[in-house]
Structure 1
Amino acid sequence: MNPRRVHILKDVPATRGPVLYWMHRDFRARDNWGLTYARLQALRTGQPVAVIFCLAPEFADATAVHFNFLLDGLTQTVHALRQQNISFFALTGSPGLEIASFARKHGAGLVVTDFDPLRVKRRWHEDLLSACELPVHEVDSRNIVPARVVSDRREFMARTIRPKIKRLLLEFLDEFPELPAHPHDWPTAPPEPDFPVLRSKIRNDAPRQNLLVEPGEQAGQAVLHNFLKSRLPLYAKRNDPNQDVCSNLSAYLHFGMLSAQRAALETQSCGLAGEHVDSFLDELIVRRELSDNFCLHTQSYDTEDGFPAWARESLHKHRNDPRPVIYSPEELEKAGTHDPLWNAAQTQMLRSGKMHGYLRMYWAKKILEWSPSPAEALRTAILLNDRYSLDGRDSNGYTGIAWSIGGVHDRGWTERPIFGKIRFMNYAGARRKFDVDQYVRTWIAPQDDASI
């Protein structure tokens, strides 16, 4: 595999011992560069390899819905790992410290970890580095072109990162190697992962959503194949929420149950071409990698400080503009606004754990319009998205909200009240683009529909 996928977090002399792969972003046994690298290092030194997972019950605003989706998928991954003679250990607690303790206890020689630009994951890595004296290598298996390779600075917008990614795709968009079952056994029989005990540590703090999404690697592959066969040819209609043409891959990509690289490889080989294919690949590769770039190089990616200077200045200029209405976070959470389209979008997320991509922009911009300040709007949008969207707590979500509310990766538009120069979206504009009434009927009972 390409050595440029690897970033050395702790460069100390290696010792002889098992290789540990800390799986915390890319929850899959196949098409996983982090696991591949750990296996290759273990083969080189003649050592066993193990995958370690540590449950952090207080992670961001994740709920039991998210954790159960993750754990349900992990049961499949454990089975696939066993077939490759790779042990799996499930821990719980403060992840970085628990991984360090496990490594010391088992005399590990190397720890391999996933890349993730979010602050909470960086803290986990810092805990690990401070608590162990082993070499720690980070592998970016989320991005096709590793985020640390494609750019060493925050990119201005998609058009500035796109040529950098395209120049490197030939080098990095390669097939994953097929490795035989690992020949070196773990010294002792690993215990069976006790998923019921892990589930008992999860806060039961949200109603069970009807996700309509089956978890796991196999399900992710099936959804990908169905999309390439049935919906990709119609992808040009993707901005119409009433058309079932979107990929439905976001949850699998977020939880790392599906590799974006695998999706890109199969898209290229499916025999289709044209604007719809180019658009999907641009969203799959450029837009997702732009989000990781934003969070990697913007410490304050979830606050106003992460907005570009022109947007901060413009929003500040209009901070005292009268709002047509102000809704509390609780009213927004319950989809209790005067806007039937916004209520329908929020209800879709509440019930299914997802929201159509076009409506996510409208949804966030209306929160800006109905909040006392941009800072409050940003906090509310992140809270609701992280709590109810299955693909929340992700660089894509933070970047998308920052685009909608704070002009990140956008330019200044015609100045108007409240929004300043932030791009504006409204109900009338949505009606011109698609059948709003049909979408509202899909998610809201007629008696709940209101006139705007």
Structure 2
Amino acid sequence: MAPTPANPTPASPSPIQVHPSRVRVLHPGGGRETAGPVVYWMLRDQRLADNWALLHAACLAAAAVPSAPVAVAFSLFPRPFLLGARRRQLGFLLRGLRRLAADARAGGLPFFFLEGGPAEVPALVRRLGASALVADFSPLRPVRESLDAVVGELRRDAPAVAVHQVDAHNVVPVWAASGKLEYSAKTLRGKVNKVIDEYLVEFPEMPTTAQWNMEQPEDVDWEALIDRVFSEAENVPEINWCEPGEAAAMEVLLGSKDGFLTKRIKSYESDRNDPTKPRALSCLSPYLHFGHISAQRCALEAKRHRHLSPKSVDAFLEELIIRRELADNFCHYQPHYDSLAGAWEWARKTLMEHAADRREQIYT
């Protein structure tokens, strides 16, 4: 398994102005006489709008001579990776993907659903004769290992295929914000604020690419798929107040009836930590987690609505950018992010010092 380079080659500037440091070249590919389609391997950023990874894939396709088409592929990770995800999360994921697939089809963009997981990606790339694979960024170990395996297989079996990775999840790409593990929000904040204006920009329009006239994706029986996945998942009921999908996410952010920025932002600064006042929350976390909305879009719209409540908007931007992206920094640079071995020494020391403290309640 070929490891992902620690400092992959920065990509060249693109015609649609995807910031070059947002893109990493994991394998340069090349050597083809004709350009095949570009495949965008969607994982963490499950949306068509405001998606730097999809934009970069379209840019590569548009720059080919002649212009190449673009396809989207989503691989459902196997159950071990989804361990801990209940029906509530899995239902939100799959119902959101069903909406996305319909939107992609309406826009002439083929959407390949790979139920067998990341192992199916190289075969799809080879079958389509793709010239490039563009992957999402995630700092989590299973995703990184899967990406390494895909890159290694393509290097071996399809060396002409370029592989790029795009951080479309963070406003400032994790590797551009800092080159090391940050100690706190304070240390990351200073670094992010120095470069935020470079990255917090409006998204360009999608470039024109060639029409898709190749293999068509198989139809997905979404209800059967959901039933099958649910049969293997723990039964934590789905919720009815939070609809998945891009349109629903934008309604929560900007809706005229109960949008966060249009109707509820004023109480965010003072009441967001009060559990008796849930309306003070943005309610955007599920959409940000599954990538149904871009954090960058949320930040841009928040800045436009700052006049409604400057303090609340500033507090929201602190949580949305600094605090949220600090978590990505931790998982990206701390290999033991999921165990106490990854905690700072003072934290482990404090836990040990108080391990014998008497407690009113003892939990398993």
TM-score band (shorter)? 0.7 to 0.9
Match of 1:238 in 2: 272
Match of 2:251 in 1: 222
Structure 2 counterpart of 1:30, one-letter code: A
Structure 1 counterpart of 2:105, one-letter code: R
Structure 2 counterpart of 1:127, one-letter code: A
Aligned mates of 1:94, 1:25 — CA distance in 2: 14
Match of 1:312 in 2: 348
Aligned mates of 1:160, 1:146 — CA distance in 2: 16
108-117 or 187-196, which deviates more:
187-196
Aligned mates of 2:144, 2:83 — CA distance in 1: 13
**2:298 is the alignment partner of 1:263:** yes
Per-residue CA deviation, residues 309-333 of structure 1 (Å, 9 max, x unaligned), is: 11112222333334333222xxxxx
**2:284 is the alignment partner of 1:249:** yes
Aligned mates of 2:341, 2:261 — CA distance in 1: 39
Which of residues 326, 340, 352 is equivalent to 2:362? 326
Match of 2:10 in 1: none
Aligned mates of 1:85, 1:254 — CA distance in 2: 26
**2:76 is the alignment partner of 1:55:** yes
Per-residue CA deviation, residues 12-48 of structure 1 (Å, 9 max, x unaligned), is: 3364311100011000010000001001101111111
Structure 2 counterpart of 1:162, one-letter code: R
Match of 1:331 in 2: none
SS at match of 1:52: strand
Which of residues 172, 190, 196 is equivalent to 1:145? 172
Indicate if the aligned counterparts of 1:87 and 1:186 stay in contact, CA closer than 8 A: no
Alpha carbons of structure 1 residues 297 and 204: separation in structure 2 relative to 1, 3 Å: closer
Alpha carbons of structure 1 residues 284 and 64: separation in structure 2 relative to 1, 3 Å: same
Match of 1:76 in 2: 99
**2:318 is the alignment partner of 1:282:** yes
Aligned mates of 1:94, 1:51 — CA distance in 2: 14
Per-residue CA deviation, residues 364-411 of structure 1 (Å, 9 max, x unaligned), is: xxxxxxxxxxxxxxxxxxxxxxxxxxxxxxxxxxxxxxxxxxxxxxxx
SS at match of 1:239: coil
227-236 or 173-182, which deviates more:
173-182
Match of 1:30 in 2: 49
Higher relative contact order (CA 8 A, sep 6+): 2
For structure 1, which runs of at least 5 residues remain unmatched after alignment? 329-452
Indicate if the aligned counterparts of 1:86 and 1:182 stay in contact, CA closer than 8 A: no
Q: Describe how 1:205-216 pairs up with structure 2 within 5 A.
A: 205-216=234-245
**2:20 is the alignment partner of 1:3:** yes
Match of 2:129 in 1: 107
SS at match of 1:136: strand
Match of 1:337 in 2: none
Offset of 1:179 from its aligned partner? 2.2
For structure 2, which runs of at least 5 residues remain unmatched after alignment? 1-17, 156-160
SS at match of 2:89: helix
Offset of 1:197 from its aligned partner? 4.4
Aligned mates of 2:77, 2:358 — CA distance in 1: 42
Q: Which one has the bigger helix percentage?
A: 1
Match of 2:4 in 1: none
Per-residue CA deviation, residues 112-168 of structure 1 (Å, 9 max, x unaligned), is: 000000111111112211221232111001001000111010001001010111111
Indicate if the aligned counterparts of 2:53 and 2:135 stay in contact, CA closer than 8 A: yes
Normalised by the size of structure 2, how large is the TM-score?
0.85
Match of 1:129 in 2: 151
Identity %: 40
Match of 2:5 in 1: none
Aligned mates of 1:265, 1:255 — CA distance in 2: 19
Offset of 1:177 from its aligned partner? 1.0
Indicate if the aligned counterparts of 1:89 and 1:193 stay in contact, CA closer than 8 A: no
Structure 2 counterpart of 1:316, one-letter code: M
Structure 1 counterpart of 2:173, one-letter code: P
Match of 1:183 in 2: 210
Aligned mates of 2:184, 2:172 — CA distance in 1: 17
Match of 2:13 in 1: none
> How large is the RMSD of aligned CA atoms in angstroms?
1.7
Normalised by the size of structure 1, how large is the TM-score?
0.69
SS at match of 1:132: helix
**2:29 is the alignment partner of 1:12:** yes
What is the aligned residue count?
327
Which of residues 89, 109, 124 is equivalent to 2:112? 89
Per-residue CA deviation, residues 191-235 of structure 1 (Å, 9 max, x unaligned), is: 323323432441142132435211111000000010001111111
SS at match of 1:29: coil
Indicate if the aligned counterparts of 2:39 and 2:57 stay in contact, CA closer than 8 A: yes
Indicate if the aligned counterparts of 2:85 and 2:233 stay in contact, CA closer than 8 A: no
Q: Describe how 1:353-372 pairs up with structure 2 within 5 A.
A: none
Which structure has the greater CA radius of gyration? Answer: 1
Per-residue CA deviation, residues 295-319 of structure 1 (Å, 9 max, x unaligned), is: 0001111111111111112222333
Indicate if the aligned counterparts of 1:83 and 1:181 stay in contact, CA closer than 8 A: no
Alpha carbons of structure 1 residues 154 and 211: separation in structure 2 relative to 1, 3 Å: farther
Aligned mates of 1:76, 1:293 — CA distance in 2: 31
Match of 1:375 in 2: none
Match of 1:155 in 2: 182
Structure 1 counterpart of 2:77, one-letter code: A
Alpha carbons of structure 1 residues 211 and 119: separation in structure 2 relative to 1, 3 Å: farther
Structure 1 runs of 4+ aligned residues shifted over 6 Å read none
Alpha carbons of structure 1 residues 14 and 223: separation in structure 2 relative to 1, 3 Å: farther
